[in-house]
Amino acid sequence: MRVFFALGVALLCMLLLDNAAAHGGEASDGLSNVQITIPAIVLCVISYFAIPKFLSSDTSRGKNVILAAVVYTGAVHIMLGLDDLVFLLGGIGIIGFGFAPLVLKFAKNNEKIFQLGLAINALIMFIAYFVSNHDLHYLLEDYLGLTTKVSEIVIMTLVVRQMRGN
């Protein structure tokens, strides 16, 4: 019951946040990096501990880590995407590919395809970040962007390992 309460509070906090936008580090009237990072980390941690409680037979430790990374990068991109359709689509897409096999029978039956879609979505988000940000000085200071890139690397690495059967 505490997990539901914490998840509800985190989701409510996300819904009450102002809009944010980010492409190439331009000035924004939206949220700061800290205001985006904290709720995303909270959701990530809650999901890591909540998923095994509800889906213990369907998830391995690797899958839990993948889904926690999906929640983190998806939440960040959705919050950034409230004013930017590209971010919003990336965030919704990665969460959709990550969680579809857990909630849809069709996706569960075709889990390898959804895992491939998840890895491709993470790869596109990873590449797009570096294509849209050319300033090396900005990249070194952008901890929000770099942490999402780390989570996308984790997603891609663990999906490839799972698809290989390791």
Tens of pLDDT, residues 115-132: 999 999 999 999 999 888
- List the domain range (segments joined by +) for residue 71: 32-164
Does residue 154 form part of some domain?
Answer: yes
Does residue 134 form part of some domain?
Answer: yes
Does residue 3 form part of some domain?
Answer: no
Does residue 2 form part of some domain?
Answer: no
Helix (H, G, I), strand (E, B) or coil at 58: coil
Does residue 99 form part of some domain?
Answer: yes
**Short-list 93, 85, 71, 84, CA closest to 14:** 71
pTM (two decimals): 0.78
| Structure token digits, residue 70 | 């999906």
pLDDT in tens, 156-166: 999 999 888 75
Q: How many domains are contained in the chain?
A: 1
Does residue 146 form part of some domain?
Answer: yes
The count of other CB atoms within 10 Å of the CB of residue 112 is: 12
Does residue 85 form part of some domain?
Answer: yes
Does residue 21 form part of some domain?
Answer: no
